[in-house]
Structure 1
Amino acid sequence: MATTQALDLSKYKVKDAPDTAYYIPYFVTNEEGKYLWDQVYGAPKPKWTQLSNRRLQNWGGLPHPKGMVAENLPKWLDVYSRKIAGLGVFDDKVPNHVLVNEYQAGQGIMSNHTTSTTQMPGDGDIKFSLLLEPNSLLILKDSMYTSYLHGITERKEDTVSDQVANLPVISYQDGDKLERTCRISLTIRYVPKTLKIQLKLGKR
């Protein structure tokens, strides 16, 4: 279902964030967004892992310091991984791992890890925030991917402020109050270190 289109990423660079973040609103259509939503909730129940503050699905293998035992992504994820790869953000690589996180209203994630920045302002020593609208794509590279901690504050309502680095390109204004609903987030990435395990089968 994903459409292929040439995008000039420089047009989507978030100028008020450290290097490097790109924010592309409406990267997928409403129809594609519903399709992905249906695929997430159509997945077998064993694919869900329940955490204390949210639940998630892991696709492509389980990352490990010694290497990930890679599994093929299902078609509904592979097509969008290749669409993102077509933007050139992974050089000549195609993403091979996807985390699907479900956040109900009031749920979030602690600010103690890297790989994206989706936290709204108002808690702790926050340098800036990014507000992600439905069907949008956030691309993080360089120090934004490797060095900046991020989190999502656990609350049911957010207030937009001038701390939102991508404020000029979203459909909300400073002071707007946003009531949270269920949110599905797909973290699509390339895991370079993988393991290949061959099973030897034979008769006894």
Structure 2
Amino acid sequence: METLIDDALVSKAPPSLYYIPEFISKEEEAYLLKQVYDAPKPKWTQLSNRRLQNWGGLPHPKGMIPEDLPQWLKVYAEKIAGLGLFEDKVPNHVLVNEYLPGQGIMPHEDGPLYYPTVSTISLGSHTLLDFYRPITDTQSDDNTNIDLEVSKTSFEDRFLCSMLLERRSLILVRDDMYKVNLHGIAERKEDIISDNVVNVYKCDGVQTGDKLERTTRVSLTIRYVPKILKAKLFLGKKR
């Protein structure tokens, strides 16, 4: 019998991307947005191209000192864990990002701090998430890496595909699409749906050629940090 997560696999994409439209209801979306914007002002960190909230602890190469997720996030961490892509683990970390129209994030990888599966719920607006081959795949004829400053600007040469993340949807990324390839969001105010968007067939009412205007989007990136530390081990003794 085919499960929900089996049906969510995006067959037209490189392995492994999963997409579930309408993962949450409109009422849940409104509730989650209220919780995000009711958070204390110090919870926000302002970056140059977006602002964010960190819940569950601060990931660090030495390990994360955990904090309990608030109930409004714990519910969805457990719901996503139930899909089976985190094995027997329950996500313990959530990064909340707010993107205004025209804002995005440079192609990047999440790194080894996290279990190699990432899940994201989109609230308020759609976006296009773009995937790229890693910089180290681009090499010169003598088998040495070309100048990294040049390669960092030539993402078009390494483009793989895009995913349309509709509001209230869930995306899960794993395997090489998580561990090897880069992902990012272009800084623009509208998106044109092209043949490169590999999950259009899963998006009701959307077709190639459509132009979609972005509004303010809040993303809940829900992950599992395997390496946990106790505060006293991390901080050490005061001297």
Length-normalised TM-score, structure 1: 0.89
Map of 2:65 onto structure 1: 69
Counterpart of 2:33 (choices 37, 51, 76) is 37
Report deviation, 1:54: 0.3
Decide whether the 8 Å contact of 2:56 with 2:93 is kept in 1: yes
Alignment-derived partner of residue 130 in structure 1: 163
The reply on whether 1:84 has 2:80 as its aligned counterpart is: yes
Q: Work out which of the residue numbers 204, 209, 213 in structure 2 matches 1:175.
A: 209
Distance in 2 of aligned mates of 1:179 and 1:104: 12
Q: Which runs of 4+ in 1 moved over 6 A?
A: none
In structure 1, the partner of 2:224 is 190
Contact conserved, 2:14 with 2:177, CA < 8 A, in 1? Answer: yes
Q: CA deviation at 1:120?
A: 8.8
Q: Secondary structure at the match of 2:79?
A: helix
Native 8 Å contact 1:68 1:193 kept in 2: yes
Q: How does 1:156-171 map to 2 (within 5 A)?
A: 156-171=189-204
User: Where in structure 2 are there 5+ consecutive unaligned residues?
Assistant: 111-117, 120-127, 133-154, 234-239
Q: Which one scores higher on RCO, CA 8 angstroms, separation ≥ 6?
A: 2
The structural deviation recorded for 1:198 is 4.8
Whole-Å separation in 2 of the counterparts to 1:32 and 1:112: 30
Deviation of 1:7 after TM superposition, in Å, equals 4.7
**Which residue identity is paired with 1:26?**
E
How many Å separate the matches in 2 of 1:144 and 1:152?
15
Deviation sequence 1:44-70 (CA, Å, 0-9, x none): 010100000000000000000000011
Asked if structure 2 preserves the Cα contact closer than 8 Å seen for 1:120 and 1:153, the reply is no
Could you tell me whether the CA contact under 8 Å between 1:112 and 1:149 is conserved in 2?
yes
Identity value in percent? 61
Determine helix, strand or coil for the equivalent of 2:33: helix
Q: Distance in 2 between matches of 1:59 and 1:112?
A: 21
Partner of residue 119, structure 1: 130
- Count of matched residue positions in the alignment of Structure 1 and Structure 2: 193
For residues 8 and 108 of structure 1, the distance between their equivalents in structure 2, rounded to whole angstroms, comes to 30
Partner of 1:54: 50
2: CA distance, partners of 1:159 / 1:141: 26
- Match of 2:72, SS state, is helix
Partner of 2:89: 93
Whether the 8 Å contact between 2:131 and 2:183 is mirrored in structure 1 is no
What CA distance in whole angstroms lies between the structure 1 residues aligned with 2:131 and 2:188? 10
Cα separation, 2, equivalents of 1:32 and 1:71: 24
* Structure 1 residues not aligned, in runs of 5+: 1-5, 200-204
- How far did 1:119 drift? 2.5
User: 1:120 touches 1:158 (CA, 8 Å); kept in 2?
Assistant: no
CA distance in 2, matches of 1:197, 1:65: 14
What RMSD, in angstroms, separates the aligned Cα atoms of the two structures?
A: 2.0
The TM-score with structure 2 as length reference comes to 0.77
Q: Name the SS of the counterpart of 2:34 in structure 1.
A: helix
**Cα deviation per residue 1:95-137 (whole Å; 9 max; x = unaligned)?**
000000000000000013346881399x723210000001000
Q: C-alpha displacement at 1:84, in angstroms?
A: 0.6
Q: Is the 8 A contact 2:107 2:184 kept in 1?
A: yes
Q: Greater helix percent: which structure?
A: 2
